[in-house]
Chains A and B, each alone.
Chain A
Amino acid sequence: MKPSRLARLLLLVVVLSLAACHREGALPWRLTNVSGHMPDLKFQLTDDAGKPVTGEDYRGKVVLLYFGYTHCPDVCPLTLAHLHAVLQRVGPSADGARILFVSVDPARDTPAIMHAYVNAFDKRAVGLTGTPHAIEALSKRYRSAFTREPDKGDGQYEVSHSSAIYLFDRQGRARLLATPATPQDDLVHDLYLLLKTGD
């Protein structure tokens, strides 16, 4: 048996035994548990198909929320590549999850650019952009921050931004917090649990 299958089977055993206890509060999360400490998923933005969307549109899905921008050549792609690997490892149930990649650079990140960008990582990733006001509102809601750095003279600039990954359950409740340094195993473990418990 492949190690990944064995890991999945072990997870299933853990989940089933926990489900039998009916004590969700005792779930053995490995990521930082923020349940009850952060507001529900709420925003008014535009998806990468150019369609207006709100947080309500993602109810029923487990959401991984991450702020970034497409002109970021290193940390953003690394984080999205990791999240893609996490979804692959979780297996078919990861189709119940969505990566929401919110641009902190709406001046350059059009829906078309966002579409090409997120789909280069994972088909379950959605690129969200919007008015500076709407993006700032979402960022502030989760105590996130971003700053446009000074122009390098050729019209190019970087955007420094919070690197946290926020996990929401199927009801849109903020549950867990990860960082780019979080071990992939821990993300796989908790995402699997979150997908199972929210059914």
Chain B
Amino acid sequence: MRPSPLSLLLAGLLCVGTAHAGEAAHVHAVGAWIRVLPGALPAGGYVTLRNDGDQPAVLTGASSPAYGSVMLHQSSTETGMGRMRMVDRLEVPAHGQVALSPGGYHLMLMDAAGLVQPGQTVRVSLRFADGSTLATDFLAKPANAL
């Protein structure tokens, strides 16, 4: 079977992506931390992402060897109702920054492989739209950290 023009185009685009340093190379993660909750309860992960590149970087997901699943979420308390929604992509503007912080954008870390204790660091791989990744150490903090 011959490859379709679309798949050739996608393959070409992927090559272009990997040929460059990648979005992750221009992003710096600052102040990364996780709020550790008791037992097997899901934890929130927070970090400020700074992009010193000329192009926007788009965060599309994350993973960690310490957790079975990591999702990008956004909380809101509009109209007095606390809600969460899944976020597919979060743009870090060129020469700008975006904060994942309590009450807003955050990572939801679920199914911990083992007990995570406050004071430990947890390696999380932040994934960008071009497939590039940024390995970031998140500091585990107690539940009532502010």
Contact = CB atoms under 8 A, between A and B. Distances in A.
A76 B44 CA distance: 11
Contacts of A113: 38-39, 41
Interface residues of A, number: 32
B50 interface: no
Nearest to A121: B144
A72 interface: yes
B75 A117 contact: no
Contact of A160 (B44, B83, B102, B109): B83
A72 B83 CA distance: 9
B38 A120 contact: yes
Contacts of B146: 81-82, 85
A75 B102 CA distance: 7
B84 A120 contact: no
A82 B75 CA distance: 16
A70 interface: yes
Contacts of A68: 82
A161 interface: yes
Contact of A117 (B41, B83, B108): B41
A77 B82 contact: no
Q: Which residue among A70, A76, A78, A181 has the maximum number of chain B CB atoms within 10 Å of its CB?
A: A78
Given A73-B106, A120-B143, A161-B82, A180 B77 contact: yes
A158 B35 CA distance: 18
B77 A75 contact: yes
Interface of A: 68, 70-78, 80-82, 84-85, 113, 116-117, 120-122, 145, 156, 158, 160-164, 179-181
18 contacts: A73-B35, A73-B37, A73-B106, A74-B106, A75-B75, A75-B102, A77-B44, A81-B145, A85-B144, A113-B38, A113-B41, A117-B143, A120-B142, A122-B144, A156-B110, A163-B81, A164-B80, A180-B103
Given A81-B35, A179-B77, A179-B80, 20 more contacts: A70-B41, A73-B37, A73-B108, A74-B103, A75-B82, A77-B35, A77-B37, A77-B143, A77-B144, A116-B38, A117-B143, A120-B37, A120-B142, A120-B143, A122-B144, A160-B83, A162-B81, A180-B77, A180-B82, A180-B103
